[in-house]
Amino acid sequence: MNSRLLLVSTLLLGLLLLNPASIFSQHQVKSQPKVAKAYIKNVPEWTKDMVIYEVNVRQYTKEGTFEAFSKHLPRLKELGVDIIWFMPIHPISKVKRKGGLGSYYSIADYQGINPEFGDKGDFKKLVDMIHDQDMKVMLDWVANHTGWDHQWITDHPEWYTQNDAGEIIDPTDPRTGKSWGWTDVADLNYDNKNLHIAMVQDMIYWVKEMDVDGFRCDVASEVPVEFWNMARREIDPIKECFWLAEAEKPELHDMAFDMAYAWEFHHILNELAKGEKTAADLDEYMAKEKKNFSSDTYMLRFITNHDENTWNGTIKERMGDAGDCLAVLTFVMPGMPLVYSGQEVGLNKRLEFFEKDQINWVEDHPKEAFYQSLIQLKKGNPALWNGEFGGRYERLRSSNDENVFAVSRVKGDNVVIGLFNFTNKEQKVKISEGITNDVMMDGISREKKGIRMDSEFTLPAFGYKVLVK
């Protein structure tokens, strides 16, 4: 073996095999790798019945600070959410900034805190408060790009994608070569293995120093699977974290991620609300999802999030009168439901992305009780738990398959039936197989009155019914 090949081999082995204490103490790869051990990813058991809540710190309160947000923790605890996902909390680049305040996703320093929100002490205090409420903290991680004034641009320009003239460029669509319009960020080049080490070192900082419980990884499919596998393998021995990929790329979940964004599922929901898709289209998608993803991969179910709200419209704009029906569906289908900031009180405006635009919190809004009941439904029925912790999913046949989506979730003696009218007209439906002799109860109102499953059900336009046993 010649000296150059030996050097390359040593570098790759060091990246793949060394533990955090050795390789991440500096941005240099040691020459003597440890013996490889088989790595097996395990989904944290503490996630089995959890619901995730996305926090837009800037828009959450008038102050837009960690301290101001902390006053909402008792309310969120009562609502029933378990995982608090913070959109990026790092300093925002000023070079090429969009708008007055810039994008959270234009990172100037991976180990820093956006001074608008507070400082590191404020964030650590908030993390501790969340943990005291028996909730978890997930940090939004932007590994695909940095802002234009990140120190790496000066110190390590070789870590960035460059054009033929040697100029650092913004992220582009690899299919067309055209910019996605993300002109406020610079694209990172993962062909450079030293970048892998530096990025994981920054992630480790938040686990060790700030005690975060997981990462929601932005545009994860644009970053090599090799990097994510390495990051998971190195962080696992430090703390059992939960990993969410903003992607629907099955290979990301072999070793790295526990949960995938169900983007296609979400887009189908938007189309169902408009009458552009039917229950048959949802059946087709679910079959594809089952084929592509292993049973231990969670799917993130949502009717809104920060991207959808700002760029594509509010729930009312996109889904009209179908919003509640589709929200219930996200709690009944296999996967973990997401609630976005303000969704629980009926947020009905598009929040500005680059400017201050506070959520208008409405007291005693019925939507809060609605989402609280859905969360209680999920937690109280093991059939609805996440991944392999939950029950078997089955599409039920009925007298009105064309217009009514009927499903069952079963785990042991626990049975949950969901009936969903995806049309803007009243529909009648009768289950034609499997559970017709059972007597169940309403799972959302929690009334004790028995409901015979051989009954004919009448569902109003975009109506739903959830029954439990």
Q: What is the pLDDT of residue 35?
A: 36
Q: What is the mean pLDDT of residues 112-116?
A: 98
pLDDT-derived band at 211, boundaries 50, 70, 90: very high
pLDDT-derived band at 332, boundaries 50, 70, 90: very high
Q: Do residues 408 and 420 make contact, with C-beta atoms less than 8 angstroms apart?
A: no
Q: Do residues 85 and 216 make contact, with C-beta atoms less than 8 angstroms apart?
A: yes
Distance, in Å, from the CA atom of 91 to the CA atom of 97, rounded to the nearest integer, reads 12
Element (H, E) at 272: helix 263-273
Q: What is the mean pLDDT of residues 5-24?
A: 41
Q: By C-alpha distance, which of 52, 53, 64, 51 is closest to 351?
A: 64
Q: What is the pLDDT of residue 461?
A: 98
Reported as a single tens digit per residue, the pLDDT across 395-422 is 999 999 999 999 999 999 999 999 999 9
What is the DSSP pairing of strand 404-411 with strand 414-421?
A: antiparallel
Q: Which residues contact 319 (CB under 8 A, 6 or more apart)?
A: 269, 270, 273, 303, 326
Cross-strand bridge partners of residue 409: 393, 416
Token digits of residue 75: 């309310």
Q: Do residues 215 and 141 make contact, with C-beta atoms less than 8 angstroms apart?
A: yes
pLDDT-derived band at 38, boundaries 50, 70, 90: low
Q: What is the mean pLDDT of residues 285-296?
A: 96
The answer to whether residue 467 scores a pLDDT higher than 70 is yes
Q: What is the mean pLDDT of residues 206-233?
A: 98
Answer yes or no: same fold for 45-390 and 395-468.
no
Q: What is the mean pLDDT of residues 14-27?
A: 42
pLDDT-derived band at 147, boundaries 50, 70, 90: very high
Distance, in Å, from the CA atom of 327 to the CA atom of 269, rounded to the nearest integer, reads 10
Q: What is the pLDDT of residue 40?
A: 82
Token digits of residue 377: 């439904």
Amino acid identity at 303: I
Q: What is the mean pLDDT of residues 309-316?
A: 97
Q: Do residues 461 and 423 make contact, with C-beta atoms less than 8 angstroms apart?
A: yes
Tell the burial category of 6 from Cβ atoms under 10 Å away from its Cβ (0-12, 13-18, 19+).
Answer: exposed
Tell the burial category of 175 from Cβ atoms under 10 Å away from its Cβ (0-12, 13-18, 19+).
Answer: exposed
The answer to whether residue 286 scores a pLDDT higher than 60 is yes
The answer to whether residue 250 scores a pLDDT higher than 80 is yes
The answer to whether residue 2 scores a pLDDT higher than 50 is no
Q: What is the pLDDT of residue 37?
A: 54
The answer to whether residue 15 scores a pLDDT higher than 80 is no
The answer to whether residue 345 scores a pLDDT higher than 70 is yes
The answer to whether residue 166 scores a pLDDT higher than 50 is yes
DSSP state of 356: -
The CATH number, out of the four listed (3.40.710.10, 1.20.1070.10, 2.30.130.10, 2.60.40.1180), of the domain defined by the range 395-468: 2.60.40.1180
For the chain, give every domain's residue range: 1-38, 45-390, 395-468
Cross-strand bridge partners of residue 308: none
Reported as a single tens digit per residue, the pLDDT across 366-397 is 899 999 999 999 999 999 999 999 999 999 99
Distance, in Å, from the CA atom of 36 to the CA atom of 108, rounded to the nearest integer, reads 35
Give first-to-last CA distance, the chain, whole Å: 67
Stated pTM of the model: 0.91
Q: Do residues 138 and 212 make contact, with C-beta atoms less than 8 angstroms apart?
A: yes
Q: What is the pLDDT of residue 39?
A: 75
Fold of 45-390: TIM Barrel (3.20.20)
Q: What is the mean pLDDT of residues 317-321?
A: 98
The answer to whether residue 208 scores a pLDDT higher than 60 is yes
Amino acid identity at 155: D
Tell the burial category of 314 from Cβ atoms under 10 Å away from its Cβ (0-12, 13-18, 19+).
Answer: buried
